Amino acid sequence: MTHWNRKIGFIFLVGVTFLYSFKSPDNTLKKVFNADELITVNKIIDFYDNFVLSKTSENLKIEDAYRQFLDNNCPLVEKSGDLSCLLPDVKEKLDFYSTLDKKNLEEIYAIADTVKYYNRAKGEFEKVYQPYSFMFNTQGKYYDLLKLLSKRNKYFKEYLESIDFVGDLSPSNYMAILDGYRNINFNKKEERLVLIVNLLAETY
């Protein structure tokens, strides 16, 4: 092999290595949601990403920002039982939800605008207007995403099993977030989305 041929071979090898290091990202979300639905999904991810960065530093990589944010706040939540430090304020959330395509949002949540509760003083059930009250939609495409992720590892498998057991997000799912978030690869949008959907289900 001539010196020139060796040089071409070396350049080709370096080029292939470079391209491989920047290979296409995981397209898991595209396997589940259509283009229009992805607009809504990405808005939700961006909304919470920006919240996390605002509580840490915009100079951090997104994975590092999530780790720092959760390391700082999850122990506080477990101690107090109050999720508020993990969430934007109520008005900010409601204003954001109003910008989303409702049909696409319903691929994640079953949406109601009233909540029924038992008034002990009156001894009867009452309804209260509460826009964007969420329950998990087990018939939506997001549930299909969880089924895909459940094949990825034990963490997501058990997370989905907890939902299947009660038909909604349960205390087990919240504990999986608070105690097990280190199992989430925050570089992957579809895995960040699991934490985000779980936390944003708390609309008030």
pLDDT in tens, 136-192: 999 999 999 999 999 999 999 999 999 999 999 999 999 999 999 999 999 999 999
> Is residue 132 classed as helix, strand or coil in its secondary structure?
strand
Answer whether residue 1 shows pLDDT above 80.
Answer: no
| Distance in Å from the first CA to the final CA of the chain | 71
Contact 138, 132 (CB under 8 A): no
Q: Which of 178, 183, 188 is nearest to 86 (CA)?
A: 178
Q: Taking the CA of residue 97 as centre, how many other CA atoms within 13 Å lie in the half-sphere pointing to its CB?
A: 25
Contact 137, 109 (CB under 8 A): yes
> Is residue 82 classed as helix, strand or coil in its secondary structure?
coil
Please give the backbone phi and psi of residue 27, each rounded to the nearest 5 degrees, phi first: -105, 30
Please give the backbone phi and psi of residue 199, each rounded to the nearest 5 degrees, phi first: -75, -40
d(CA 148, CA 84): 30
Beta bridge partners of 109: 136
| Verdict on whether the full-model pTM lies above 0.75 | yes
**Other residues' Cβ atoms within 10 Å of the Cβ of residue 155:** 18
Phi-psi region of 119 (alpha: psi -120 to 50; beta: other; left: phi over 0): beta
Locate tokens 């508020």: which residue?
84
Answer whether residue 14 shows pLDDT above 70.
Answer: no
Answer whether residue 65 shows pLDDT above 50.
Answer: yes
pLDDT in tens, 157-170: 999 999 999 999 99
pLDDT attached to residue 34? 98
Looking at 35-44, 101-110, 130-139, 152-161, which range is the least confident one?
130-139
Q: Residues 6 or more apart from 152 whose CB is under 8 A from it?
A: none
